Structure 1
Amino acid sequence: MKKILFVLLFVSQGIIAQSYSVDTSYTVKSTYAKLIKKYPFIKIAGANKGINDSKIENVVYYKNANRTLHLDAFFNKGKKRNPGIIMIHGGGWRSGSKDQMQILAQEITAKGYSCFAIEYRLSLEAKYPQGIYDVKNAIKFIKDNAKKFNIDPDKIAVLGCSSGGQMAALIGTTNEDIAFEDAHYKSKSSSRVQAIIDVDGILAFKHPESAEGEMAAFWLGGTYDENPENWKQASALNHTSKNTPPILFINSSFDRFHAGRDDMIAILNQNKIYNEVKTIQNSPHSFWFFQPWFDETVVYTTQFLDRIFK
């Protein structure tokens, strides 16, 4: 397992040295190397760029004396303000990076949306719920700068993959719940989202379908026996209600990656909240990185977004 122990970040004011551990074990290339033997036909996905699409990398959305957090913005420079899609990478709450969401973000932007790949603090650096705070702060920042990014701040979806899917579902089901807000982050905007896209992320940590263990325990500050409250609080299923926005589940063929989904759907249906399930048959976890499943993921995502926002 590779770790970078010292990071230098370059910002407009100069060089800021920040020291924190980074787990680099989960990457597109490392995942490809693991999957290619079982799926010899796969290819790492690329994306098409729209003629009016713009990209700004490493936009600072949060900064204090110890840490600077960034996002990558993909948006169309046309006159019409587009819905915004917040994108959360996976990696077991411990690894991964916002760069992994760039291809998906670029492709969805070409379909008429604005996408934002978010950096957030991982479990080697900060435990739950800090990463949730980070993404909600990013949502507020994006809304505060809606004109710059050409977005409609009242049409925001949150999309996450794997552990990022778990986070996306939790963020969407806790809209404006002050228990999940960073009290120190000042903004004129709310972190409310109008739609959720959960790509192979669990909905409940402690559930008959769940197989979460060491990775979850490390992020949640202990095992279920040691810290049951965090395991319950971090489960989107426990916050699902009549106020939950519409949700799309895109799942692999492995049931463990949607633990709690069917129970959540029962609550959504009871409250007449629109939801969809799309299962990509015979696919591995992390399917969204690769063809032929990447195109299918984009189609399901944009069809859902078109239904909700357009």
Structure 2
Amino acid sequence: LPSHTVRFAVVEGRELYADVFLPEPSASTARPAVLYFHGGGWRGGERGYARAWADFLTARGYALISFDYRLFPPATGLKAPGDVKCGIRWAKEHTATYGIDPDRLVLFGESAGGHLATLAGYTEGAARLPSSCAPGDTSVAAIISFYAPSDLVAYAASAPAPLEGFTGVSLEGHRELYELLSPINHVGPRAPPTLLLHGGADSVVPLDASQAMAARLAQAGVSHALFTLPYAEHGFDIWDGGFGRQLARARVGRFLQQHAPVD
């Protein structure tokens, strides 16, 4: 169970909450934090999914904060990314409360949450995708993305219905919006280091989504890693104690130690 559950924002009359999982007190008062955003096709899921990672991360000295974001319906394509940035801002404003180092924040998203994490992480300061609450610095040290869409124009060929629900419109006649909401189009040399994990047999989000993202990150000279689990389906890390989660934890632990180490 979380150490605290707090309301971090009220946007357009909707209350958004966060679960805060804290490690045991340490000599250092500033520890890195992982900011988690759940999957669910932009229309389902819940922040409670983070509990699968809580023991693993807090045992290693990381704070874990799992955030709500607005789901569709109604369409949230231009709202959910702002909620993610709102969560980042809230975490930075409460560093003293939870003993968090604002320079060691890592975004972690799975599926739709991975899409939103990369989109928010790569568009820090972008006027067309602002925070849904207080403006300000939303930069992060690194990003972890599991089996997430990266190019919504390409993904529309296999998943038109959820994308139309998310954006509120079809791709036809609205290509510019789909491109704006595609993280792959915002990768630049200043993008945060990124870890991508994807199943080789993913039938929900094809593997080529992460392969294309890795190629774009390489082209921009951004530190990154792509870990593929052959024969693994979407959500390969769901089962507690399963082989997929064990492998994923090993990769995540190594990446965090490299880019947001615990003192």
TM-score normalised over the length of structure 2: 0.89
Unaligned runs of 5+ in 1: 1-53
Aligned residue for 1:87, secondary structure, equals strand
TM-superposed CA distance for 1:64, in Å, is: 5.2
**Structure 2 residue 65 is the aligned partner of structure 1 residue 95:** no
TM-superposed CA distance for 1:268, in Å, is: 2.2
Q: Which residue of 2 aligns with 1:24?
A: none
Which one of 217, 229, 252 corresponds to residue 301 of structure 1? Answer: 252
- Kindly name which structure, 1 or 2, has the bigger radius of gyration based on alpha carbons: 1
Identity %: 24
Which one of 7, 27, 32 corresponds to residue 79 of structure 1? Answer: 27
Q: Which residue of 1 aligns with 2:16?
A: 69
Which one of 185, 195, 201 corresponds to residue 133 of structure 2? Answer: 185
Cα distance change on mapping 1:210 and 1:65 into 2, 3 Å: closer
**Structure 2 residue 231 is the aligned partner of structure 1 residue 285:** no
After the TM superposition, which parts of structure 1 deviate over 4 Å for at least 4 consecutive aligned residues?
A: none
Matches within 5 A, 1:168-179: 168-179=117-128
The C-alpha deviation readout for 1:64-98, integer Å capped at 9, x for no partner, is 57221100011223232221111110110001100
Query: What is the distance in 2 between the residues matched to 1:149 and 1:210?
Result: 43
CA contact (8 A) 1:105 1:117 kept: no
Q: Which residue of 2 aligns with 1:119?
A: 68
Name the aligned partner's letter for residue 307 of structure 1: Q
Query: What is the distance in 1 between the residues matched to 2:100 and 2:201?
Result: 35
Relative contact order (C-alpha < 8 Å, sep 6+): which is higher?
Answer: 2
CA contact (8 A) 2:187 2:220 kept: no
Matches within 5 A, 1:1-310: 55-63=2-10, 66-76=13-23, 77-80=25-28, 81-182=30-131, 185-186=133-134, 189-207=136-154, 211-254=158-201, 256-290=205-239, 291-310=242-261
Aligned residue for 1:72, secondary structure, equals strand
Query: What is the distance in 1 between the residues matched to 2:225 and 2:96?
Result: 31
Unaligned runs of 5+ in 2: none
The C-alpha deviation readout for 1:79-138, integer Å capped at 9, x for no partner, is 322211111101100011001121213321212211111111101245212111111101
Name the aligned partner's letter for residue 217 of structure 2: L
